[in-house]
Chains A and B, each alone.
Chain A
Amino acid sequence: AQKVTQAQTEISVVEKEDVTLDCVYETRDTTYYLFWYKQPPSGELVFLIRRNSFDEQNEISGRYSWNFQKSTSSFNFTITASQVVDSAVYFCALSEPPGSARQLTFGSGTQLTVLP
């Protein structure tokens, strides 16, 4: 069965610190997709990134970067020079095989608090 583990339930950092959110996944599929979503205190879910299993290149988008390593089944997310507005719950998600009743398996989320 597919599984996504976000072992860090809560992280607290001071503004301008770098922070890495861990995501470890389990799947038997050879083709799959990984996602990160942000849920700020206002409650909506915001899509951040989609990565397919054949593309192991790291990606950087402004202060955000993602490190995908198939060898360790991890897809970690780093925020550089964190800001108070980064405070949110962050979810990692893994695609399910076609026809699945889930479509996506979500991790339990990491609550990030950035203190001023």
Chain B
Amino acid sequence: DADVTQTPRNRITKTGKRIMLECSQTKGHDRMYWYRQDPGLGLRLIYYSFDVKDINKGEISDGYSVSRQAQAKFSLSLESAIPNQTALYFCATSDSPSLGELLYEQYFGPGTRLTVT
């Protein structure tokens, strides 16, 4: 089984609808992230969470919200979807750095392709 799973894998929704993307991980990592990937713009961070009670805005958080329900679960919500939120969304996890380290590599889920019409 995959260490980082995302549901759904594909979703088509209409403008104005609320939608939730879910992420679960079995890696035991404390840190979780949500990114979006757009052609020509690369990967951009939406929100990140260093533990259940620590949630931080990323580079492009407007229009999105998140919930960290447990160490293993981190969901992303679009309260009122708009067409320019059409993108490939990735969840990622990483271990918390040990003393002397700044950060570790992130492990990504398979992605959710979201289309807003």
On A, residues with C-beta under 8 Å from B are 31-33, 35, 37, 42-47, 50, 52, 91, 95, 98, 101-104, 106-109
Chain A at the B interface: SS class = loop
Residues of A within 8 A of B101 (CB): 52
Q: Is the CB of A104 within 8 A of B102?
A: no
Q: How far is the CB of A7 from chain B (nearest CB, A)?
A: 14
Residues of B within 8 A of A (CB): 33, 40, 42-43, 45, 48, 56-59, 88, 90, 92, 101-111, 113
Distance A111 CA – B45 CA, assembled complex (angstroms) = 22
Choose from A37, A43, A45, A98 the contact partner of B102 (Cβ within 8 Å).
Answer: A98
Between-chain CB contacts (< 8 Å), 5 pairs: A45-B92, A104-B43, A104-B45, A107-B42, A108-B42
A35 to B103, CA, bound (A): 11
